Each structure stands twice: as structure tokens, then as C-alpha cells.
Structure 1
Amino acid sequence: MARLRFLVPLVVLAGSVQAQDDLAGRARAALEARVAAGTTVGAVAGIVHPDGRLEVVAAGRSGNAARPQLDALTLFEIGSITKTFTATLLAQRVERGDLRLATTVREAAPDLRDWKRPGVGDVTLGQLATHTAGLPRLPIDAWFLLGRVTTRDGPYGHYTADDLLDHAARAESPGPGPHAFAYSNYGMGLLGEILARREGTTFAALARRDILAPLGMTRSGVDTAPGDEPLLAHGHDGSLFRTGYWKLPGLGGAGALRSNVEEMAAYLRAHRDGRIAGARLTHELRAKAGGTSGVGLAWIVKPSATGRILWHNGGTGGFRSFAGFHEGSRVGVIVLSNSSVGVDEIGMHLLDPSQPLAPPAAPPAWLLAIVAGVALALPWMAWRAKLDARPDALWSALEIATTALLVHVAAPWGPAGPWAWRALVALTVASLALVAWRARSLPARTPDRPASARRAIGRASTAALFGLGLLLL
């Protein structure tokens, strides 16, 4: 009996080691399934073992013709994982006595703005770092909303740090905190900017000086270093069309960093082992975050049967990311993807096998049927349109183009396959050509006919929907 009691921990240890050794295989299978299903262009996963060893697996392609292969050096936008860097910067200043978690925005930056009383100036830095300040997810105002649909640098590319500070200085008070957990890019962006302005620098420079450089993360940062452009993956939306890169001049602390698996592994090791100032402080549970999870300073803290999991995810227009580590097994996982389909499920499954990993979801058959039906209706629209003059032909062409544009925006082209999108393009071109052929003998001016409210409303709706489709591209 004593011998059996001695063997039990050895069996458990052997099972744990075997499970860790199988992580790379499970990660590879998950990534390859995503690529094969057409939901992801490419992804890289890194497994940080308890001894610090890094295993890297990849599937798919980077989308960058200069370096199509994916590996540990490929750079991705990591989105909101940046928030853990911002929280670490705060924790470093708390540990050395420069700030307290209870320090208010007004106390931390008294000369930065004339903070409204009461207002956002009364929120504490700790509340900003734990999403308990009562602030909205984004700094909503007319300028912010206008820029979201006009800028070419992502939805936040127009919104500067001064715009953010001006908004915060005049915003209404969220009331005495802490409030219930409410995820806020606004709050974390404000925290990053305050920390940087206090030291006369930018968030990008502060993160490099106090975190990236000490950890040897030379390729990580807000901007891609000269010469590293071939390493930068291209992002893709849910239909696997290429997207632009995001710039976040005013919300850098909320999601502006780029990194790769190799350097994110160094970051996870430093946090797991407490080898960077401020790390341990960020791991302390400070508020509930929904369900059984809680939040430290930025890190989401999830309990499991064998220990806590600290993790965060990220997403920009064409990228998704996951980074986390298991305090019990001391395993860390990074998953970086250049498509806008989330990878949290993969990362969490690798850290905790009890978390199920479902196969990639295929679009429902009814959705594909609707898309096919609408696309096939385009030639019918071209043939049946009532054309009395060339202006009618122009409106008919706009209706066809609008319909095709909305289908292009809404349809799941990745899972449907590239042939489906090419078929839509061919049907659209053929339909427009048919309208042009029918218009060749029409008069240039519309003949006299009674005004029609129905026709006017239809054309106005077509123009509005066409504009909406362009904005959604």
C-alpha cells in the first residue's frame, strides 16, 4: 500500500509531462483545422514550457509576399494584450513609490488638463487598470464617431492623445468607484497616456524603455522597425480579404503594440517568473469580471481545477491574439493570427485541456443559400429593370452594384471558398454589361412622366445603402 501511495504522484507527474509534450501537436492540429476550414489565413502558436523552452508551430501563410512563411519571428498586431503592458508600467511606478493605485487622474496629472469637478479626474489609476472606473468602452463624441468612418488608419487612427485628454477633462463624472467591471479601451488608453505624459514621453517610448528593451523585445513596439517590414503579417477580415493596419495615436495603451511569438514568450516568462518589475502586482485579484473569472491589473484571472490561469486576448481589424500562462503547470501559450476570427478557444484549451475545443464553425447552409440566391438574382435585375432612358440605366446599374457590394461585405467568403467570390464578381460584371447593352439605344433624357414618390424613395435608399456598403469595406 505504501508503495502504491509512492507511485501515485509519479503517475500524475508522468501524465502532466506527457500532456505538456503533446501541446505542440494539439496546437498544430487546431491551427491547421482553422486554415483548412477557410476561417483563418495563418496563425502561429508558441508553447512556453515550465523550463522556459519554447515550441513554435504554424499553419497557413503571412499574406506578405516578401516573406510568406509564418514562424516565431512573424510580427502581428497584438491588440488589447497591450493593456497588460500598460498595467505593468503602472505597477512598476507603484512598486517604486511614484504612484499609488488609489492616486486619482487629477493627482497624477494635475497640470495636464483642467479636470472637471466632479469628473474623470476623480477616477483612480487602479480603477482604470481594472476596468472598474465606470467609463464607457470608447470615448464617444461627434469627432470620434466621424473619424471612425472616414479614416484609413483603422477606426481610431484620427483620434489623437490630445483628443482623448480633452474628452476626459470635460466628461461627466462616472460617480464614485469602484464600479462593476466594464471593459474600457477608453480607460486603459487614458492610463497609458497619463503615465507617459508624467515622464515627458510617449506611450511607445515608455513601453520600449521599461519593458521591451529590458526583455530583449527588439522587434516589438507600436511601429515596425526599419528593415522588419517583411516580417509583418498582413491582416484579413472574416471573409479573408486583406485589411489595413491600425494606428492608435490616442489609445496606444489600449492596443497599439505589435509583437511576435518569440518575444511574447519572453514577456510571458518574465510575468510567470516575476522577472520584471511590477509583474507580481498585476497578478493580484482585484475585482470580479463576470462568471467565475476576475481581473488583476489588466490580466483576466480564470480559476481552474489545477491553479489560476492569467490571460488576455486582443483584436484589431485583421488580427486576433491570445497570451496566457497557468500558474499551476507553469505552461504559457501564445496564439497569434492574421485573421479576424478569435483564437481564445485555442489558447484556453492548450492551457486547460478540460476546456473544449470545438471544430471550426461552418457558415449555416441557409446563409450560403441566401447569398447564392441574391447573387444569381443580379442578371434577373439587369434584364427586368424598367429602362426608359439612360438615367434609368445608371440607377439600375447602381442598384446592381449596391446589391453586390452588400453581399460582398456580409457573406462568409473564407469558408465559402475563393470560387464563390469570383462567381459574384463575374455575375456582377455580366449584369452591368447587360444593363449597358440595353441602354445603348435609349434616349439621353428621361421622357415626361409623372413624379413617383415610390421611385424617389427607392433611389434615395439605393444611394444610402451604397454609401453604407462603402463604409463597411
Structure 2
Amino acid sequence: MSLPDGLAGRLERLVATAQSEQRIPSVSAAVFRDGDVLWRAALGSADVERGEDATPAHAYRIGSITKTFTAVCILQLRDAMVLDLDDPLRTHIPEAPPGPTVADALSHLSGFQREPPGEIWETMTPPTREELLGGLEDAERVLRPGEAWHYSNLAFGLLGEIVARRNEGEYAPALRARVLEPLGLTRTGFDPQSPSATGYFVDPYSDRVTVEPDPAVEGPVAAMGWLWSTVDDLARWADFLATGHDGVLSRETLDEMARARTMADQGAWKLGWGLGLELYRRGDRVFAGHGGAMPGFLAGVCIHRPERTGAAVLCNTSAGAGPEKLALDLAEAVLDELPRAPEPWRPDGGAPDDVTPLLGRWWSEGYELVLSWQGGRLRLEVVDGPPGRSISWLRQEGDDRWRIEEGRELGELLRVVRDENGALEKLYVATYPLTRAPTAFADASG
């Protein structure tokens, strides 16, 4: 799909302005929709000393975006019933302290200190597996589990250890076999593939740049943030986070990962966390994704899952850049200026015979509700209900039993009640009675 000239120009200006004003040696960016990259660009120097211009093909470190890959591996194990999200970490890592669960670690609610014990970001020597586990005795519990959001690389190192222990003791091969290869992410890995960008520190008071160290790492610590990738691979990854992929993770599980479990900014409610996914709110839109930082590199990727539209931004600077904001700005530009045409409505065979009697108007507590059959699914709407919280979608799980699988009252049961002749009498939703006419509580109880 070719972009309108005005939109392409807007995207180019956003990237050029960020690269210039934030003094980034190079920026690589892409916007994507429905699994296709709509636009990509790169500005600046991938390697200053060699005079190598950046291209969208260059690989950059993506830092903590790696955590989204680790989270997918953990949810794979959950779906395979190897673990439960409510399991204490200690169930799978006996060396771990008691208390925090797998879900706590995924959502940064573990209460663990931010980094593994030691001065990892001064020595630039990441801990080995043995040092990571041995250091748990010295790790602080800065908060109670679940008390508040507190970002923890240490927690994700332990999640990487769980993945490793369930895959013959190695994290990197497990990630490659379980995620990277099935999704065709050929430019994503723990070693840079040519061409790759050089990471820099930009002097805040001059235009001098210094090459940053490139620390090597082995074992589960890599799960914290050591991957390299390209904007095209991140576009493919973000689209997977919106749609799922057979043999990797289902759309339903990814929906679960993208539900907010905590807010990182309790006052503003603009930045939250699901299960390993960062959630950004811009107005009425919520994007899923993650940011990343490593010495010499900053990165951001986001996707608006309902519209399957997002952006990826990679930078080769240690500080001063805002790739997450730029990715959100790029994605919003596409959503604003390239709206989708409505899907054409097409008639079908209508509702199944056993569903037809359920359809139409119902009442509960003086509120009107409507059951309808749309697109092969049962839909329940609260008339004039609160925006974004008035519609439920249901799946049948037995005779006269339906379960809400999406939307309002998620997980609750709709039960059909019939009289002695089998005729439809009323419904119950989450134990509230629904009748064909408005009924007062006094009448219903009488």
C-alpha cells in the first residue's frame, strides 16, 4: 500500500525532527498495518568512524523489548500446563525467595529490587547463571509482592531461568526454537548480524560521540534485554502480538497479556503493564508494546491491537532520545490520516434455531439490554451503557449455557431458564435475572 503524500511527509518530518533535535546518531523507523510495512526510513550514521549511513536493514540492540519475547515463552509454558501464573517463582526456582508469583514477575509486581545484586551497569559484566541465583540471598525485597509497580530486571532474569530449566537448561536456544524460528524473525537474535549499528554515548555539551561497550551475556540474564533486531522484524513481532500465530501463542492468550494488571503512573493512568507488555494510553487508544535501553541503544515498538497498526523505532544512542514517544506519534499519524473503510455488511443464514428465541430486548434492574447474533457470535449490549463497557460477546459452552468471552462482565455466565414445557422463561447473567419486560426488584422477589 502506498501512503498519501501528506502522510508520508508527516512521518518523514517526525523522524527527521527527532533525529535532529534529540541529537541521535541514527534513527531507523517503520510503520506497519495488517502485517505489512507501510513505510520505513533511516537517518544518520550507523557507524560514525566508518561514515556508514543508517538503513532500515541495520540491526540495533532492542534492550528490554526482549522482555516481551520472554513473556511469550512463559505464557507458552502456561498454556502447555507446565506452570500456572499463580505459582510462586520458588515452585520452579527453589533458590528464589518465597512470595512473588510468576504473574507478579511478568507485571513488575514482584517487589524485587530493580537489578541483580552487584554493580552490573558499572562493571559491564552481567552475572552468570550461578551468580544470578547465588545473589538472590542478597537481593532486596523493596516492596511487598503486589504492593505497587516496580520495574525489575532481576525478576525477568528469573523468568528466563524458568524458560531455560524447561528447555534443557538454555534460554537462547529455547527462544530461538519456540519463537524466533516459527515467526520467521531471521534478523533477531543475541548476536548482531551485518549490517548492524554501533552504539554511542552523545556528549551532552558537545557534538562528540563515544562508542559504548557491548557487554556479552550468557544464560537467563539475556532474558532481561540482550536481543538485536531490525524495524522489519519488530513489525512482524508486533503484528504477532496483535494476532497470534499457530504453534506459538493464540490470540486469546495475547489478549490476556494485553489486559492492564497495574498502572506505572497511578496519577495519570497513561502507562500500564499487562503480562510482560507495556500499555500506553493516548486519548481513547491503548497501544501494546515495550521500550528498550542498552549501552549505546534505545528502542520502542507499539501496536494498536484493534486496528493492527503500529510502529517501531531504533536509535544508536544511550540517552536523550524518545523512541517510544516517536513510535506512538508515528502510529497515531497513520491511524489519524489513514482510517480504514468500514467492512461491508453481508447477510448470512441468521442465528441457529436454538439461539433465535433468545434474541431481542431484555430488562434487568430497569436497564434495557439487547441480545443479537452478529458475525456468527452472540452479542449482549446494555442500551445507552457506558462507552467501552456496554458490549459482551459470548460463546456457548453447553445446553442453555453461554460464557462471556470478551467485553463487559468477562468470564461470567449467561444461563437460560425454561418452564416445565421447555419454553423460554428468563435469563440470568452473572446471577442477575433478565426478563422480557421491566420488572422491579420487589416484583421479582415476590
TM-score (norm 1): 0.62
- In the TM superposition, what are the counterparts of 1:199-238 in structure 2 within 5 Å? 199-224=167-192, 228=193, 230-238=194-202
Q: Which residue of 1 aligns with 2:441?
A: none
Any idea what the Cα deviations from partners look like across 1:265-289, whole Å, max 9, x if unmatched?
Answer: 1111111112240533321221222
Any idea what the Cα deviations from partners look like across 1:242-291, whole Å, max 9, x if unmatched?
Answer: 21223343521110111111111111111111224053332122122213
Letter in 1 for 2:225: G
Is 2:301 aligned against 1:331?
Answer: no
Distance 1:23-1:221 versus aligned 2 partners, 3 A rule: farther
Contact 2:32 2:39 in 1 (8 A): yes
Q: Which residue of 2 aligns with 1:124?
A: 101
Any idea what the Cα deviations from partners look like across 1:64-114, whole Å, max 9, x if unmatched?
Answer: 77792323321100001111111111111111211111111111134xx3x
Letter in 1 for 2:294: T
CA distance in 2: counterparts of 1:43 and 1:173, whole angstroms: 38
Q: Which residue of 2 aligns with 1:179?
A: 147
Is 2:254 aligned against 1:282?
Answer: no
- In the TM superposition, what are the counterparts of 1:335-346 in structure 2 within 5 Å? 335-340=313-318, 341-342=320-321, 343-346=323-326
Q: Which residue of 1 aligns with 2:211?
A: 242
- In the TM superposition, what are the counterparts of 1:455-470 in structure 2 within 5 Å? none
CA distance in 2: counterparts of 1:20 and 1:133, whole angstroms: 46
Q: 1:69 aligns with which of 49, 53, 58?
A: 53
**What's the Cα RMSD here?**
2.7
Letter in 1 for 2:324: D
Contact 2:37 2:232 in 1 (8 A): no
Distance 1:238-1:172 versus aligned 2 partners, 3 A rule: closer
Q: Which residue of 2 aligns with 1:136?
A: 113
Q: 2:332 aligns with which of 352, 361, 386?
A: 352
CA distance in 1: counterparts of 2:22 and 2:175, whole angstroms: 36
CA distance in 1: counterparts of 2:102 and 2:71, whole angstroms: 10
Any idea what the Cα deviations from partners look like across 1:131-163, whole Å, max 9, x if unmatched?
Answer: 0000111123xxx22x543x4xxx3x3421211
Q: Which residue of 2 aligns with 1:41?
A: 25
Distance 1:68-1:244 versus aligned 2 partners, 3 A rule: same
CA distance in 2: counterparts of 1:223 and 1:296, whole angstroms: 28
Runs of 4+ deviating beyond 6 Å: 17-21, 64-67
Query: What is the number of equivalent residue pairs in this alignment?
Result: 319
Letter in 2 for 1:335: V
Contact 1:24 1:47 in 2 (8 A): no
SS in 1 for 2:326: helix
Shift of 1:28: 2.2
Any idea what the Cα deviations from partners look like across 1:340-375, whole Å, max 9, x if unmatched?
Answer: 2332221121233599xxxxxxxxxxxxxxxxxxxx
Query: Structure 1: where are the runs of 5+ without partners?
Result: 1-16, 356-473
> Going by fraction, where is helix more abundant, 1 or 2?
1
Any idea what the Cα deviations from partners look like across 1:23-71, whole Å, max 9, x if unmatched?
Answer: 5433322332344447111111010124634421111121177792323
Distance 1:345-1:175 versus aligned 2 partners, 3 A rule: closer
Distance 1:307-1:175 versus aligned 2 partners, 3 A rule: closer
Distance 1:22-1:201 versus aligned 2 partners, 3 A rule: farther
Shift of 1:332: 1.2
TM-score (norm 2): 0.65
SS in 2 for 1:308: strand
> Going by fraction, where is strand more abundant, 1 or 2?
2
CA distance in 2: counterparts of 1:27 and 1:168, whole angstroms: 46
Letter in 2 for 1:319: F
Shift of 1:196: 1.0
Q: Which has the larger radius of gyration?
A: 1
Contact 1:24 1:57 in 2 (8 A): no
Contact 1:109 1:198 in 2 (8 A): no
CA distance in 2: counterparts of 1:305 and 1:287, whole angstroms: 18
SS in 1 for 2:149: coil
Contact 1:79 1:315 in 2 (8 A): yes
Contact 1:83 1:298 in 2 (8 A): yes
Contact 2:257 2:276 in 1 (8 A): yes
Contact 1:81 1:255 in 2 (8 A): yes
- In the TM superposition, what are the counterparts of 1:20-419 in structure 2 within 5 Å? 24-37=8-21, 39-50=23-34, 52-63=36-47, 68-110=52-94, 113=95, 115=96, 120-140=97-117, 144-145=118-119, 148-149=121-122, 151=123, 155=124, 157-169=125-137, 171=139, 177-224=145-192, 228=193, 230-239=194-203, 240-249=209-218, 251-275=221-245, 276-277=248-249, 278-290=253-265, 291-292=268-269, 293-340=271-318, 341-342=320-321, 343-352=323-332
CA distance in 1: counterparts of 2:164 and 2:69, whole angstroms: 13
SS in 2 for 1:180: coil
Distance 1:67-1:199 versus aligned 2 partners, 3 A rule: farther
CA distance in 2: counterparts of 1:218 and 1:354, whole angstroms: 27
Q: Which residue of 2 aligns with 1:405?
A: none
